[in-house]
């Protein structure tokens, strides 16, 4: 089983997780946009039993009822998202991974809140809201070979 490491920008927070993530996804919601100050956030979904901090403890901000967003109190790096509706999961921001290139997103969520100028030109599943709802196939682009 592989072990993956990651850290915040300054290194006060480091973490590890074991094995493969549950999923990797783009989130286009407004809250993620504000917290990351980016057009889109990318998350690596883990079971909480896979994950542990190996240095430091993050600060937290409850952005909605039942939602905790964690970040480094020193450098401000967003670290993770946890929600009461998914009590056994922690969602890490992909940019904190030591080797983010090895984790490839497989779907888009909250596409209903996507910035209009942000082009999504892949063939991944697109969920209007969270990934618990079925993907909206009508918004999916045809594969390049079919265009």
Find the shortest distance in angstroms from Cβ 1 to Zn ion: 27
Backbone torsions φ then ψ of 88, nearest 5 degrees: -95, 10
Among 32, 40, 111, 125, binds Zn ion (CB under 5 A): 32
Backbone torsions φ then ψ of 20, nearest 5 degrees: -95, 150
29-37, 62-70, 88-96, 116-124 -> range binding Zn ion (CB under 5 A): 29-37
Backbone torsions φ then ψ of 145, nearest 5 degrees: -70, -15
Find the shortest distance in angstroms from Cβ 115 to Zn ion: 13
Q: How many degrees, rounded to 5, is the angle at CA 142 between CA 141 and CA 146?
A: 155
Find the shortest distance in angstroms from Cβ 30 to Zn ion: 8
107 lines the binding site for Zn ion (CB under 5 A): no
Is residue 80 classed as helix, strand or coil in its secondary structure? strand
Q: Whose Cβ is closer to Zn ion: residue 8's or residue 46's? A: 8
Q: How many CB atoms lie within 10 A of CB 110?
A: 23
Would you tell me which residues interact with Zn ion (CB under 5 A)?
8, 10, 12, 27, 29, 32, 72, 74-75
């Amino acid at each position: 089983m592989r072990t993956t490491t990651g850290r915040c920008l300054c290194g006060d927070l480091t973490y590890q997780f074991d094995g493969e993530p549950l999923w990797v996804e783009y989130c286009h919601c407004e809250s993620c946009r504000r917290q990351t100050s980016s057009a889109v956030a990318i998350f690596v979904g883990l079971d909480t039993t896979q994950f542990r901090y190996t240095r430091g403890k993050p600060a937290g901000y409850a952005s909605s009822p039942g939602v905790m967003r964690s970040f480094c109190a020193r450098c401000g790096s967003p670290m993770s998202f946890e929600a009461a509706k998914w009590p056994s999961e922690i969602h890490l921001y992909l940019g904190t991974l030591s080797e983010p290139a090895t984790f490839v997103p497989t779907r888009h969520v909250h596409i209903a809140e996507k910035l209009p100028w942000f082009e999504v030109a892949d063939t991944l599943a697109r969920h209007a809201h969270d990934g618990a709802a079925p993907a909206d196939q009508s918004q999916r682009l045809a594969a390049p070979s079919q265009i």
